[in-house]
Amino acid sequence: MDPFEYNANPSRVVFGPDSIQKLPDELRRLKLSSPLLLTTPQQVSSGEDLAKILNAASIKPAGTYTNATMHTPSHITNEALEYMKSASADSVVSIGGGSTIGLGKAISVRTGLPHLCIPTTYAGSEMTPILGETQDGKKTTRSDPAILPGTVIYDVNLTMTLPTSLSATSGVNAIAHAVEALYAKNKNPIITMMALEGTKALAESLPTIVEDPSNQAARERAQYGAWLCGVCLGSSAMALHHKLCHTLGGSFNMPHAETHTIVLPHALSYNAPAIPEAMKLLAEVLPGSNGNAVQGLNVLLEKLKVKRALKDYGMKEEDVAKAAQIAVSNQYPNPREIKEEPIKELIRRAWAGEDAKDDL
């Protein structure tokens, strides 16, 4: 066995149906009494439901900020910080997907306030000490133990009405974390186990959710898989796939989960020649792979009935070359050397919505 280092990220997980009702107890455990609630404009009702639970337990929220936005733009963070200061909050509670959790992280790391989060998608951001922020059209990422939320509440009931399209893309977004953990520069056997188990759980449950959205067992298994994949993201150095998605999201305003879904098989095909062992392990947990992990991902995306083209989300063909230039402008650890021409072709295929192929 190769030598390795493993650092566990310290966070508390409360998992199970109706676990949202335990939020008051979690706040009391931390001796907190005035949380600021965070939502997106689309999830205002979730914040209202949360406030009712807290009020019933004699905990009065400091207020609710409802303008969390994709890619955590700096002006939104500054606006939320001003709101928080005027409300005299002693903690932050985010409920929603990556946009809301990202804002919670941005506030927490700037203020030192405890962050409790309640994910309603499968993106996995809640389990990472990583924060991606956008300013002036450029997305940058940083990692700091202080960014990691202290408590995560997984309540399957909050995912039961998640649209199947978003269930699928946020689930594949989570799988992307696990895939890159398999060949990360700091990979280790513990995270590899979590990556394979998380991928297997999601690859098996997501097609069921698409066909039967009310299947609670599948929803819960997807949530479990997303948790494991999120741990992988928080414990591993990400490579080409995540760099490409940050470029496309920050510079071209592509939607987060959908972009990860489209790019993943193409990024994996690019790295495939340099990661034979990871490809073998991944193929074993992807149904329909026939020994080829890239094919397994193509099959999975077909089952999930997701859009496969960046152009479907507004990216222009003339943006392909610019995206490639940005993606290769700063070299970063990756199993295969980053070269502009094949990266440009990778992005073109993702833009056009083609199946990933093993010839990059």
On the question of pLDDT at 9 being above 90, the answer is: no
Q: Are residues 147 and 182 in the same domain?
A: no
Residue-range definition of the domain harbouring residue 309:
164-352
Task: Express each pLDDT in 289-317 by its tens digit.
Answer: 999 999 999 999 999 999 999 999 999 99
Q: Are residues 127 and 197 in the same domain?
A: no
The verdict on residue 1 lying in a domain is: no
Q: Round to whole Å and give the CA distance between 318 and 334.
A: 26
On the question of pLDDT at 149 being above 90, the answer is: yes
The verdict on residue 233 lying in a domain is: yes
Q: Are residues 63 and 193 in the same domain?
A: no
Place 108 in a pLDDT band, splitting at 50, 70 and 90: very high
| Residue pair 180/238 in contact by the 8 Å Cβ criterion | yes
How high does pLDDT run on average in the chain?
Answer: 94
Q: Are residues 330 and 209 in the same domain?
A: yes
* pLDDT (mean) for 167-182: 96
| Residue pair 35/94 in contact by the 8 Å Cβ criterion | no
The contacts of residue 41 (CB under 8 Å, 6+ apart) are 66, 67
Answer positive or negative: Cα dihedral of 99, 57, 91, 152.
negative
Q: Are residues 58 and 207 in the same domain?
A: no
The verdict on residue 2 lying in a domain is: no
* Angle at the Cα of 203 from the Cα atoms of 336 and 287, rounded to 5 degrees: 85
Q: Are residues 136 and 210 in the same domain?
A: no
Q: Are residues 183 and 242 in the same domain?
A: yes
Place 1 in a pLDDT band, splitting at 50, 70 and 90: confident
Place 210 in a pLDDT band, splitting at 50, 70 and 90: very high
Helix%, strand%, coil% for the chain, nearest 5: 60, 10, 30
Q: Round to whole Å and give the CA distance between 300 and 306.
A: 10
For residue 296, give the CATH number of its domain: 1.20.1090.10
On the question of pLDDT at 167 being above 90, the answer is: yes
Task: Express each pLDDT in 35-74 by its tens digit.
Answer: 999 999 999 999 999 999 999 999 999 999 999 998 899 9
Chosen domain end from 139, 159, 179: 159
The verdict on residue 5 lying in a domain is: no
pLDDT recorded at residue 10: 73
Q: Are residues 310 and 293 in the same domain?
A: yes
Place 137 in a pLDDT band, splitting at 50, 70 and 90: confident
* pTM score, whole prediction: 0.88
Q: Are residues 299 and 181 in the same domain?
A: yes
Chosen domain end from 159, 184, 208: 159
**How many domains would you assign to the chain?**
2
